[in-house]
Amino acid sequence: SAVISQKPSRDICQRGTSLTIQCQVDSQVTMMFWYRQQPGQSLTLIATANQGSEATYESGFVIDKFPISRPNLTFSTLTVSNMSPEDSSIYLCSVELAAAPDEQYFGPGTRLTVT
């Protein structure tokens, strides 16, 4: 496995502002992903974070709202832009490790509340 850290662990933000979430992994990574878990619901994939290029977004998610960076193999950021209360969720990064292909490991999540 690997140690996956996310910052911040939680935040309370005002509507109209933006928050950037960081994800850092201590092992060699092949793939990185960002998911959203809305209150009481399952996980939904937001996008695949591609190293050195634009992220690949899933249907219903756009770059203007959720810009993602991945400057190197083990670090990525997700920004939630122009927030509204509907963005209140847990945001999780996940990784596929070079040492364990076909398995995904999740970070602890960032709990975001938008007021």
Partner 1 sequence: GNSVTQMEGPVTLSEEAFLTINCTYTATGYPSLFWYVQYPGEGLQLLLKATKADDKGSNKGFEATYRKETTSFHLEKGSVQVSDSAVYFCAGGTSYGKLTFGQGTILTVHP
CB of residue 108 to partner 1, shortest distance in Å = 4
Q: How far apart are CA 50 and CA 72, in angstroms?
A: 9
Which of 14, 42 has the CB closer to partner 1? 42
Q: Does 41 bind partner 1 (CB under 8 A)?
A: yes
Q: How far apart are CA 20 and CA 15, in angstroms?
A: 14
CA atoms within 13 A on the CB side of 91: 28
Q: Which of 45, 51, 61, 67 binds partner 1 (CB under 8 A)?
A: 45
- Residues facing residue 75 across a β-bridge: 24, 72
Which residue, chain included where needed, has tokens 């190197």?
72
Per-residue contact flags (x/-) with partner 1 for residues 52 to 81, judged by CB under 8 A: ------x-----------------------
Interacting span for partner 1 (CB under 8 A) from 17-25, 42-50, 64-72, 76-84: 42-50
100: Cα separation from own chain's centroid: 20
Binding residues with partner 1: total (CB under 8 A): 21
Which of 86, 102 has the CB closer to partner 1? 102
Residue count of the chain, please give it.
115
Q: Which residues bind partner 1 (CB under 8 A)?
A: 30-31, 33, 41-45, 48, 58, 92, 94, 96, 102-109
